[in-house]
Amino acid sequence: MADFKKYKWPIITIVVIVGVLMVMLTIGFTLGILSEDPDGLEKSVIDAKGGGEEGEAWIEELPSPWEPILGGIENDYIAGIIGLTLSVALMMVVFYGIIKLKQKNK
């Protein structure tokens, strides 16, 4: 049987880091949804389009890359959580593929 004591602190460290990142993402995501003010990127685009209502209208008309998948969901919060989950899953698949490719080349 493996000696898990030598892996105790690395596992604890990984769990703590993942937990903190999950809390930070959840808080940031929730605050972004609850805020009616544009974020920095949106503000830059609004200013570039002349500012005011014209720029804000242009932002509202931008298509979302998730529209085909999440277009039928009315609740923005649920759609955001599903989109975030899909993004993380996609990143995991890409990283898994990279790891397998590197192991194959050794």
Which residues have a Cβ under 8 Å from the Cβ of 71 and sit 6 or more positions away? none
The mean pLDDT of 9-33, rounded to a whole number, is 79
b (16+ CB within 10 A) / e for 66-97: eeeebeeeeeeeebbeebeeeeeeeeeeeeee
Summarize pLDDT for 68-81 with one digit per residue, the tens.
766 777 777 777 77
DSSP 8-state assignment for residue 7: G
d(CA 42, CA 32): 12
Looking at residue 70, its pLDDT comes to: 66
Summarize pLDDT for 81-97 with one digit per residue, the tens.
777 788 788 888 888 88
Summarize pLDDT for 31-71 with one digit per residue, the tens.
666 666 666 777 787 777 777 777 777 767 777 666 776 67
